[in-house]
Amino acid sequence: MSHGKNFSRRDFIKISSIFLAGSAAMTTATGHAFSGADDKVGDEGSRVVYSFCEHCFWRCGIAAHVRDGKVYKITGSEHHPLSQGKLCPRGTGGTGLLYDPDRLAHPLIRETKGGRQFYRKASWDEAISLVAEKLWNIKEENGPGALAMLNHGYGVSFFKNMLSQIGVNKIAKPSYDLCCGPARQASVLTYGYPSDTPEGFDIKNSKYMMFFGTHFGENMHNTAVQEISDGIRNGAKIVVFDPRFSTLAGKAEHWLPIRPGTDIAMMQGLMHVLITENLYDKSFVEAHTVGFAELRDSVMEMTPEKAAEITEIPADAIRTIAREYAYHAPAAFVHSGRRTNWYGDALQRIRAIHILNALVGNFWMPGGVVAFKKFPLVQPPAAHEHPAYEKEAYSKYPFFPQDEPSNTITSHEIIEDTIAGKIKGLLIYGVNLPETMTLGRDKAIEAMKKAEFVVAVDVLPAEVTGYADVVLPECTYLERYDDLDNGRAFRTPFVALRQPAVPPMYDSRPGNEIAKMITEKWGIHGAFPPSVEKGLDRKLRLVGSSLEEIKKKGVLVMPETDLYRKPGEPLNLKTPSGKVELASAQLKAAGFDAVPKYAPQPEAPAGFYRMLTGRKPMLTFGRTANNRFLGDLATAKENEVWVSDRIAEKHSLQNGEYVRLKNQNGVVSEFPVKVKVTQRIRTDAVYMVHGFGHSSAKLTWAYKRGASHNQLISRTDIDPAMGGVGFQNNFVTFIKEAQA
């Protein structure tokens, strides 16, 4: 095997279609080729397999309906607390992934002949041998710190175990950097425990819910959407701060089209009113918080008039909302949202949200902030038990988590360290790196080209697979067991099973087998149970159940827990003070602001508009981009750039016309995007859904549909405290198609 150094500069390879599932799937009934549907109506002759979804991180329970060896329908599991029989489109659309004709069908190995790089089909044994040898050699020559894994998805636990066998624990979840990291760490700093999924808000019992930017309904977080609906039916009022009239804003009593990047000023303004008008919960603040005086002093100058000037929301509206919020408290909250990293100041912004909650005394109160519990499963040994680990976390950021074995470094540090040559081997599990908002597309590609060895484990020929030395085709979540899921906290703690509804198609294999094969090639035996089923059964027997039992309903559910605090009881939080920390001595000691303070963000250059992003309810970025079943609706086929009617007039843009976008660094979108002229957005911003504009021609559905948001990220703002990546300081203008 003479790979290695030859490939330190690697080119993108278009995977030949003969290695993809292609023609096999096309032979199913005309018209239903990608949906899994057969010609029968009704459920006669079928069986139901309960599992959980992988189309987003929420991990709802699903019921896969199987007949004649095919999944013909997926509905919400009636047993699973997060779905309660209901399901969002993406859950139903699992069949579109399972029967995607573009699926990776065989292991692939990069070869060079006559200066040309290409992939050739390999046997599993050959591909696994090569991966095992390359990873081992890099570890031997450079130490375990020269290997790293980027991961997204629930099948990763087996690869983590595999890497831990040789002392590698440099593992990053890009979702920490760009999505939930700030919320997690802000919760740790303020309450002493990390935030969870579903987020800790007692939505269904709330009377007044405030949202900053988060767009429930467009992000179909099933349980949260169910509870918001319950709230609306029960008469709850919704307040939405968003530069865009989102679907959630459409349900709001007050929609405040806030100037992007000024949220902290708004939050300080609300705190100012709560404090100066004596609307805050004095007894809670005195008994259960620290740092009130410092907080009070810090918001004194942020009068509603000053906040109005910054945020472009009238001072009267700020006063009204603060008063209404206090009136409905404690059954009122400000939601911390999801995909919280916008400007590199998200840790402080989410801290400001937690402070707004604490001020009205809604902590662990009905309709306020709550801490859902997890099912107490016996956990595997912690990461630091391996002697070769240098440390538990490798991130240089002071408030990066030290307690999360699946996330020990930021993904942008992995990209930077790979470009710098410190990391030489990359295992990329389920992350389409060129389209993941980490440091933008160019840096991701640079890192993959620089690495000595890249192995990608994936289901589809996403862009990332074109940069790998070896591509290992994993089967989909509907064809495999994964680890038990007790990672979700909710009203009724639960543990859920992922089990195969059908056997793996083509020459794809489950992650648990792939990881075990590599580990055994290293000569390490016994790291994995004899079979994945036996391993799951063993874990379940420790809690008095069994694999056989959990297979029936896909979930074990505990009774509802008490979420609310009792009068007079101390909170005993795991913060340094044991209380809710309005001002954080930890942040101050590390040289950061102890209380959140607004700082202005850069302005758009003339003729440019701030690029905002979000979701469509039927899509989850890369996971669903190539899903023909989900893509079938007109609203799902492409992304659009939302442009204010006033801005459209200025640039002579017509609704429905196609333009290319150009960012402040001169990057022009590879593909044109449709203009949506609308009143639903401010004049200083445009909006486009992330996850479109794919450049891999082997994603035959996603290819060239819409424009890539990721491609237009040239500037990132890293949160100096927790290491998250903000990317909303990118600005675009329009290039008419004829001029492009």
Partner 1 sequence: MVIDTRVCVACSACVYACKQENNVPEGYCRDWVVQETGGEYPKLTMENRSERCQHCDNAPCVTYCPTRASHYAEDGTVQINRSICTGCKACLAACPYDARFVNPEGFADKCSLCQHRIKQGLETACVSICPTGSLNLVDFNNIDQKTKQLLSGKVVYRQKEHAGTEPNLRWISASNKPGA
Interacting residues toward partner 1 by CB under 8 A = 31-42, 72-76, 85-89, 92-93, 95, 216-218, 220, 222, 225-226, 228-230, 232-238, 245, 247-251, 253, 255, 257, 617-618, 628-630, 632-633, 635-636, 644-645, 678-680
Q: Would you state the structure tokens that stand for residue 634, as one six-digit string?
A: 């007109």
- Give the nearer residue to partner 1 in terms of CB position, either 249 or 536: 249
E strand or H helix at 211, and its extent? strand 208-212
Which CA distances in Å does 635 have to 23, 619, 640? Answer: 28, 11, 10
> Least Å distance between CB 217 and partner 1?
3
Which CA distances in Å does 235 have to 229, 491, 582, 671, 690? Answer: 10, 22, 31, 45, 33
How many CB atoms lie under 10 A from the CB of residue 141? 10
> Least Å distance between CB 39 and partner 1?
7
> Least Å distance between CB 26 and partner 1?
13
- Give the nearer residue to partner 1 in terms of CB position, either 126 or 645: 645
* Spacing of C-alpha 77 from chain mean position: 22
d(CA 294, CA 421): 45
- Give the nearer residue to partner 1 in terms of CB position, either 236 or 393: 236
> Least Å distance between CB 179 and partner 1?
20
> Least Å distance between CB 239 and partner 1?
11
> Least Å distance between CB 366 and partner 1?
17
d(CA 190, CA 271): 16
> Least Å distance between CB 338 and partner 1?
15
Rg (CA), the chain: 25
Reduce the DSSP state of residue 139 to 3 states and report it.
helix
- Give the nearer residue to partner 1 in terms of CB position, either 182 or 217: 217
Interstrand relation of 725-726 and 717-718 (parallel, antiparallel or unpaired):
antiparallel
d(CA 476, CA 461): 13
Q: Would you state the structure tokens that stand for residue 68, as one six-digit string?
A: 């004649």
- Give the nearer residue to partner 1 in terms of CB position, either 78 or 140: 78
Helices (H), 329-436: 346-359, 411-419
> Least Å distance between CB 52 and partner 1?
16
Answer yes or no: are the C-beta atoms of 37 and 73 closer than 8 Å.
yes
| 82-95 residues labelled b (16+ CB within 10 A) or e (exposed) | bbbebbbbbbbbbb
- Give the nearer residue to partner 1 in terms of CB position, either 14 or 40: 40
Gap between the terminal Cα atoms of the chain: 46
> Least Å distance between CB 209 and partner 1?
11
- Give the nearer residue to partner 1 in terms of CB position, either 173 or 338: 338
Q: Would you state the structure tokens that stand for residue 65, as one six-digit string?
A: 């309906």
Residue in the block written with tokens 């939505």 = 203
- Give the nearer residue to partner 1 in terms of CB position, either 218 or 474: 218
> Least Å distance between CB 285 and partner 1?
29
- Give the nearer residue to partner 1 in terms of CB position, either 144 or 217: 217
- Give the nearer residue to partner 1 in terms of CB position, either 237 or 709: 237
Residue in the block written with tokens 């079979």 = 531
- Give the nearer residue to partner 1 in terms of CB position, either 19 or 701: 701
- Give the nearer residue to partner 1 in terms of CB position, either 291 or 631: 631
Which CA distances in Å does 256 have to 308, 336, 555, 678, 729? Answer: 11, 17, 41, 17, 21
> Least Å distance between CB 248 and partner 1?
8
d(CA 456, CA 149): 10
> Least Å distance between CB 480 and partner 1?
22
> Least Å distance between CB 180 and partner 1?
21
> Least Å distance between CB 40 and partner 1?
8
Answer yes or no: are the C-beta atoms of 716 and 730 closer than 8 Å.
no
- Give the nearer residue to partner 1 in terms of CB position, either 42 or 568: 42
Residue in the block written with tokens 């030489």 = 424
d(CA 724, CA 547): 38
d(CA 593, CA 309): 23
Q: Residue 54 contacts by C-beta under 8 Å, 6 or more apart in sequence?
A: 94, 153, 154, 155, 476, 477, 498, 623
Answer yes or no: are the C-beta atoms of 511 and 482 closer than 8 Å.
yes
> Least Å distance between CB 22 and partner 1?
18
- Give the nearer residue to partner 1 in terms of CB position, either 312 or 549: 312
- Give the nearer residue to partner 1 in terms of CB position, either 64 or 439: 64
Which CA distances in Å does 634 have to 618, 630, 631, 638? Answer: 11, 10, 8, 8
DSSP E strands: which ranges in 58-174?
61-67, 70-76, 108-113, 116-121, 147-151, 171-172
Please state the three-class secondary structure of 260-290 as a single string: CCCHHHHHHHHHHHHHHCCCCCHHHHHHHEE
Answer yes or no: are the C-beta atoms of 324 and 236 closer than 8 Å.
no
